[in-house]
Amino acid sequence: MSALRVGVVGVGWAGQQHLKGYAALPGVDIVALAGMETDRVADLQKEYGIAATFDRWEDMLDAVELDAVSIATPTFLHAPIAIAALERGLHVLTEKPIAAGLADARAMVEQARVSGRVLQVVFNHRLRGDISELGRIIESGELGTPYIAKAGWLRRARIPGSSWFAQKAQAGGGPLLDLGVHVIDYVLHLLGEPEVATVSASTYAELGAQAIEGFDVEDIAIAFIRLTNGATVTVEASWDAYRADNNEYWMTVYGTKGGAELRVIDYETTQFTVFRTKDGENADYQATPSENGGHDRVVREFVETIGRGAAEWAKHDGSLGLKRAEIIDACYRSAESGHEVALS
């Protein structure tokens, strides 16, 4: 079989992770790279031996014969690039969130279905070793039936440096969309993909608006999510809050037979406890994370999905990313209206 010809759009941290992931795989050729940062593009072209580079993604799609495209750009560009690539019969891997708005997300999924090509969104945190091990523990039945989950991702004074993050028109939202989408993804993934019944959320922009001119997204958000199976989830996400000066995310789950608490600080697992009883006594223990995965695993799974053929492609049409977008859109509508919003 001929090598899979891939083009990457975006040369920031995320784009570099895509490049690294593809370069590690046999049977994949990175044949094109598009980005506005001329010096970085030149450095990456040399590092990965990329034949063609472009300032404009439109020129890349027109000039180079490709099989697949990776999108690692500001969020507002996800939809136009993805739709243009899908219309050309290319498979698409895009960074999270799927799009800046719900209409764009739906248009992307519809185009993937019409084109019969893969549309996959990067949800790399579900592939961490600690998240994966927590999933195994839940799936084994050790905790019984989970009925409450609490999770979040909080930072202090770490609003992303790129100016587009602070503009709703370009980013689509603040930390709820940037960080919270990962939290919502791994929580629902670990709980077995239950359907969401209602959401109630609040957002605040008390600090970001003081620090950045034109800041029109939230700097912290909290959401209460009811699931159709009766379980509940709370989610917190912040870029800026008066709290410990670290980058912390976590998940706590309460089940009918046990519970678990996972806490990650600056990407290192600092607590991973399973709470159980045996013979009427506490039988808690420290769980051991499995091997970490991330963008490398996402990229590999994307390539493997393409390799399985058209029957598999239809299962990967971006619907998962769209479901996450629908939940977050409902959260923003709830925060704006001050009322609970129903999804089902």
pLDDT at 158 (0 to 100) = 87
pLDDT band for position 1 (cuts 50, 70, 90) = low
* Angle, helix 102-115 to helix 319-337, in steps of 10 degrees: 160
**Structural domains in the chain, sorted by start:** 4-124+295-313 (3.40.50.720), 129-293 (3.30.360.10)
300: nearest Cα among 64, 25, 105: 25
Query: What span, in angstroms and rounded, lies between the C-alpha atoms of 250 and 152?
Result: 6
pLDDT at 160 (0 to 100) = 86
pLDDT (average), residues 203-229: 94
Query: What span, in angstroms and rounded, lies between the C-alpha atoms of 64 and 69?
Result: 11
With a CB cutoff of 8 Å and minimum separation 6, the contacts of 199 are 223, 224, 225, 226, 327, 330, 331, 334, 340, 341, 343
pLDDT (average), residues 99-117: 98
pLDDT at 317 (0 to 100) = 98
Tell me: the pLDDT tens digits for 306-342?
A: 999 999 999 999 999 999 999 999 999 999 999 999 9
Angular region, 266: left φ>0, alpha ψ -120 to 50, beta rest: left
pLDDT at 257 (0 to 100) = 98
Give the type of residue at 247.
Answer: N
Tell me: the pLDDT tens digits for 43-91?
A: 999 999 999 999 999 999 999 999 999 999 999 999 999 999 999 999 9
Whether 103 shows a pLDDT value over 80: the answer reads yes
Give the single-character DSSP code of 194: P
Average pLDDT of every residue of the chain: 96
> What tokens appear for 332 in the block?
């923003």
Q: Supply angle C-alpha 318, 319, 324, rounded to 5.
A: 100
Asked if 125 and 178 touch (Cβ cutoff 8 Å), the reply is no
pTM equals: 0.96
Beta bridge partner(s), residue 53? 33
Percent of the chain having pLDDT more than 70?
100
Whether 161 shows a pLDDT value over 90: the answer reads no
> What tokens appear for 257 in the block?
């037979």
pLDDT (average), residues 133-150: 98
> What tokens appear for 115 in the block?
């084109």
Whether 199 shows a pLDDT value over 70: the answer reads yes
> What tokens appear for 151 in the block?
């999770």
pLDDT (average), residues 135-139: 98
pLDDT at 75 (0 to 100) = 96
* Phi and psi torsions of 42, nearest 5°: -65, -40
Burial 36-50 (b: 16+ CB within 10 A, else e): eeeeebeebbeeeeb
Asked if 168 and 82 touch (Cβ cutoff 8 Å), the reply is no
pLDDT (average), residues 144-153: 98
